[in-house]
Amino acid sequence: MKLFKSLLVAPASLGLLAPIAATANEVTINDFNAAEEIAVTNSRVDGLEARLNNFEAGSFSETTTASFSVDTVIGSIDGDTTSEKTTFDYQFNIGLSTSFTGEDSLDVAIDSGISSLSPMGSVMGFDSGTELKVDGVTYTFPVGGATVVVGDSTDVSATFTGACVYSAFTDATPDDCGTGNSLGVGGPSSRVAASIGYTFDSGFSLAGGIASPQTELVGADQDVYGVEAAYSADNYGVALAYVSDDGGASAETTYWGLNGYYTFDLASLSVGYETKETGGTDSNGYFVGLTFPEVGPGSVNVAAATTDLFSSSQTETLIYEASYSYPVNDAMTITPGVFIQENTGDDETGIAVKTSFSF
């Protein structure tokens, strides 16, 4: 700003001296006080600088960032009862993040997708609806060494550590290594959720969370809450979680989930096991997955899992998947894959190519 002042003061001074030279016969040097005129000019420049500073302070924060992603999938499912045609689906996501202290984060997720998902889009778990919609608003901040996440439509498990390194190709493969109801428990829509987690230096971590209806916070008959304990080392990890869903008018449902991973020289093994108890009926499911992180320019993922949690009286069905993911560049990744999903009727076989853009 000093250079800016000099650029303004110099021409102003010359402009004041010029008429003095032209009218030297009519005035005396005592009629002009250069120091006083320069002081006035400096005062005006200071006022302009103050206004610029106020404008900068009221503009967008330098800590506000935006991230964008687009996912597309082309594929077909042989044996699907709705349609076996080759289809195209997409989704568009925006993430806005702002920090006020450098240690906190206010995050807003905005999603959009195709108007009506095909069977392949549904299997991939894509968003539907062409309008942009707010998918969640969360605020993350530290409290005494712990991390707290609060927000609308966020996950009870937002601060859970988990112990799963497998990256699923389809949404039909149970989330979080088959423990999506416990270690990956979400927050039902239109719920206010809070989650808190603490990680010790030894590698242990503890976390807990709760979600309640917006109309009645904590103590409502529709609360969902869970707790988790986990341990992570250099090449392995294990996590255990318990979740209770009051169920509202239905019977209370409880979940136990256990997952873990072990990294070998060439691959990582991820496993998961989950149980559910509702009204005296028990059911369970499992997951096994292998990740080969360096196969040519990309990575290979292969997994087998139960399609749901099954009781002893139900027929258990499985899903198998294999995919190869490779980055074309820093902003684009292509993932071709195949899956076979068992059903009580005919099995379904899907082949798809997913392309992900991030910018």
38 occurs within a structural domain? yes
Strands in 235-308 per DSSP E: 236-245, 253-263, 268-278, 281-295, 298-306
The parent domain of residue 43 ranges over 2-56
Start-to-end CA distance of the chain, whole Å, equals 35
Query: Residue 1 has what pLDDT?
Result: 41
What type of residue sits at position 314? Answer: Q
Here the tokens at position 74 are: 């082309």
Query: Residue 44 has what pLDDT?
Result: 64
Here the tokens at position 293 are: 């992180």
The reply to whether the predicted model has a pTM over 0.85 is no
pLDDT in tens, 268-279: 999 999 999 998
37 occurs within a structural domain? yes
Q: Using the 8-state DSSP alphabet, how is residue 315 labeled?
A: P
23 occurs within a structural domain? yes
18 occurs within a structural domain? yes
Query: Residue 27 has what pLDDT?
Result: 42
- 3-class DSSP assignment, residue 213: strand
12 occurs within a structural domain? yes
Residues in the chain where the model's pLDDT stays below 70: 1-61, 187-190, 217-221, 248-249
Cβ–Cβ under 8 Å, residues 163 and 272: no
Angle between helix axes 2-22 and 34-57 (nearest 10 degrees) is 150
- Closest to 89 measured CA to CA, from 357, 330, 355: 355
32 occurs within a structural domain? yes
How many residues does this entry show for the chain? 359
Per the DSSP assignment, residues forming a β-bridge with 290 are 269, 302
132 occurs within a structural domain? no
Query: Residue 45 has what pLDDT?
Result: 57
CA atoms within 13 A on the CB side of 178: 29
233 occurs within a structural domain? no
**Domains held by the chain: number:** 1
